[in-house]
Amino acid sequence: MAVIPQTEFQRRRARRKWMGRAFHAMCLLSVCIALGMLAVLLAYLLIQGITGISWSFLTGFASRHPEQAGIKAAILGSIYVVVVAGLVSFTLGVATAVYLEEYAARSKFAKIAKINIANLAGVPSIVYGILGLQIFVHSLHLGKSVLAGGFTLALLVLPIVIVAAGEAVRAVPPSFREGSYALGATRWQVIWHIVFPLAFPGILTGVILAVSRAIGETAPLIAMGALTFVPFSPDSPLSRFTVLPIQIFNWTSRPQEGFQEAAAAGIIVLLVILLMMNAGAVILRNRFQNKWD
Amino acid sequence: MARNVVSPPLGQGTRNAWKRKFLERGIATLLFLSSFLSILITIGIVAVLLFEAITFFADVSFWEFITGTRWTPLFSSKQFGVLALVAGTTLTAVMAMVVALPLGLMSAIYLSEYSPDKVRRVVKPVLEVLAGIPTVVYGYFALLFVTPILRSISGDIAVFNALSASIVMGIMILPMVSSLSEDAMRSVPRTLREGAYALGSTKLEVSTLVVVPAALSGIVSAFILAVSRAIGETMIVTIAAGQNPSFTLNPFVPIETMTAYIVQVSQGDAPAGSIEFKTIFAVALLLFAITLVMNLLSQYVVSRFREEYE
């Protein structure tokens, strides 16, 4: 075996140590670049948009004049659509997760369904918009309405709810179920009285994640045919609508600087809504967790 | 006390049992139908896209569609070469990965191997905020912040260009790469690292020669998912990259991606049944097929090449 002379060993060791330090610095730099971009993004939006936020901006309707433009219709549209999407995806998502985990666990059907759900999560959102256009708007004659938009987004976020609810249901210890079965409970009684209450915080977190994804979606609703200029409040599930991200998109693509400022102000409102929802998720989760610990 | 534990008369007991059994069956059926719906969604997507795409290919030859390099369905002289859109999508996705891969992987190595636990617990969720920001916000940022900076560096860059959109898209998918890669690296057992340290390795050598290879299946699958995400991304490229389908790999000029084209047609009012309307189904079908293959590939990589320790 070749023996490396002492001086050569020291030289190599010094080089390896130096390379290690350089690599450490590069990795740290990568993280700093990513965090720095986030900081720049938020700072830029704040500087551009903060002056545009006023009471009349929040309560006014869309306008051809940037200084009069408001986001009332967009905020209402976003809320209605997201409420529909949240309710539908919650119901379907929890039902699906419970079936796959409690009834059909380890069956071939569950295996196929889970692969399918993983793939659905990777389908580009705009494809869901086309699906919504053909199924809800044309085939079911819902029109380009709040309901059609809500259903479209519900399908889009369904995989998120199913995966989160599935994890929450799986996390309930089997001994709890077995104890309940031993007392003579039926399968549904076990699910309703034992599994649901324990899995609820996890399910809730999943639904809030799903809803915050839905509230930021633009492309599927454009493909489905949501409006870009709405000078009225949507007043029924079948009324036409716009949402906040579409309003922002519309203003961003206009050349006048006033509209771009309005877009930045709209973005701040959107991000504040998202922030509040995520904070709400954390608070709710903590509260329920304490109760069951 | 004794009264309460007396069981109900037998007749009522069996009636309750019947009712309960009926309820149980009904609920099981409802739950099954709901989970079947998730499969119906996939079938629905394929059916809807295929149905219109087939009538599209009755008018336009499939060969022209898949090999042509000029895409002008909205002009009077219509040409249907989808490669012009595919080039735009490829260009933006590849350049976004050039940003996201090195930064994401190095961030993952830092978080998994170098950072103190306290730092990791703060930095990871903050990084994931990047993934939660709506894409329309990134589009605004690309067009009105990044593009002017790029244009002040080089006058050759157009207002709408692939470069700006790609850089911002790279930042958007960075947390996806870093988060998933880091999860894979952290699941590499300690003993492997300790063995390498015991042989005198430095941290750099442990990270790059032991941890990354051991976690490679997870890292590769994260990359593939990120590429798939970049291909399907819509709003950033619609806002910042232009609406000018061109068969080019020049990042300084306006281009159009498949997703941006679908938005462009949706925003106009192409009447249902017209050839312009049908093009979006053909394009969406291609988009769906590409992302499906990548997602399946990512799952395959994880299941086939995962190294099981312990």
CB contact under 8 A, A34 and B178: yes
HEC readout, chain A: CCCCCHHHHHHHHHHHHHHHHHHHHHHHHHHHHHHHHHHHHHHHHHHHHHHHCCHHHHHCCCCCCHHHCCCHHHHHHHHHHHHHHHHHHHHHHHHHHHHHHHHCCCCHHHHHHHHHHHHHHCCCHHHHHHHHHHHHHHHCCCCCEHHHHHHHHHHHHHHHHHHHHHHHHHCCCHHHHHHHHHCCCCHHHHHHHHHHHHHHHHHHHHHHHHHHHHHCCCHHHHHHCCCCCCCCCCCCCCCECCCHHHHHHHHHCCCCHHHHHHHHHHHHHHHHHHHHHHHHHHHHHHHHHHHHC
pLDDT digits (tens, 9 = 90+) for A88-133: 999 999 999 999 999 988 899 999 999 999 999 999 999 999 999 9
The CA distance from B42 to B39, in Å, is 5
CB contact under 8 A, A34 and B102: no
Its pTM stands at 0.90
What is the pLDDT, as a whole number, of residue A285? Answer: 72
pLDDT digits (tens, 9 = 90+) for B125-156: 888 888 889 999 999 999 999 999 999 998 88
CB contact under 8 A, A187 and B24: yes
> What type of residue is B32?
F
pLDDT digits (tens, 9 = 90+) for A15-27: 999 999 999 999 9
Q: Closest to B284 (Cβ–Cβ): which among A16, A103, A127?
A: A127
Alpha carbon A169 to its chain centroid, in Å, reads 20
Q: What is the mean pLDDT of residues B243-251?
A: 88
Q: Which of A287, A98, A101, A285 is nearest to A196 (CA)?
A: A98
What is the pLDDT, as a whole number, of residue B6? Answer: 54
Residue of B nearest to A186 (CA): B24
- Residue B36 DSSP SS3: helix
Q: Which of residues 223-242 of A touch B (CB under 8 A)?
A: 223-225, 228
Residue of B nearest to A120 (CA): B42
The CA distance from A276 to A263, in Å, is 20
Domain segments of chain B as ranges: 2-59, 83-305
What is the pLDDT, as a whole number, of residue B310? Answer: 56
**Chain B residues closer than 8 Å to A126 by CB:** 232, 234, 259, 262-263, 284, 287
Q: How confident is the model at residue B1 (pLDDT cuts 50, 70, 90)?
A: very low
Phi, psi of B71 (to 5 degrees): -125, 100
Start-to-end C-alpha separation, chain B: 57
Alpha carbon B165 to its chain centroid, in Å, reads 16
The CA distance from B70 to B273, in Å, is 22
| A131/B contact by beta carbon, under 8 A | yes
- In percent, the amount of chain A with pLDDT more than 70 equals 97
The CA distance from A222 to B268, in Å, is 10
Q: 10 Å Cβ neighbour count for B269?
A: 10
What does the longest C-alpha to C-alpha distance in chain A come to?
85
Residue of B nearest to A245 (CA): B136
Residue of B nearest to A97 (CA): B35
Q: Is the pLDDT of residue B20 over 50?
A: yes
Q: Which of A132, A223, A67 is nearest to B264 (CA)?
A: A223
Phi, psi of A288 (to 5 degrees): -70, -35
Q: What is the mean pLDDT of residues B90-117?
A: 94
Tens place of pLDDT per residue across chain A (293 aa) = 577 788 888 888 899 999 999 999 999 999 999 999 999 999 999 999 888 888 888 887 877 777 777 888 889 999 999 999 999 999 999 999 999 999 988 899 999 999 999 999 999 999 999 999 999 998 998 888 999 999 999 999 999 999 999 999 998 999 999 999 999 898 999 999 999 998 988 898 889 989 999 999 999 999 998 887 777 788 888 888 889 999 999 999 888 888 888 899 999 999 999 998 888 887 877 776 645 54
Q: What is the mean pLDDT of residues B37-44?
A: 94
A58-292 is a CATH 3.20.20.70 domain: no
Q: Which CATH class is domain B83-305?
A: mainly alpha
Start-to-end C-alpha separation, chain A: 61
| A75/B contact by beta carbon, under 8 A | no
Would you state the structure tokens that stand for residue A287, as one six-digit string? 């509260």
What is the pLDDT, as a whole number, of residue B12? Answer: 66
The CA distance from A66 to A262, in Å, is 7
Q: Give A240's strand partners.
A: A145
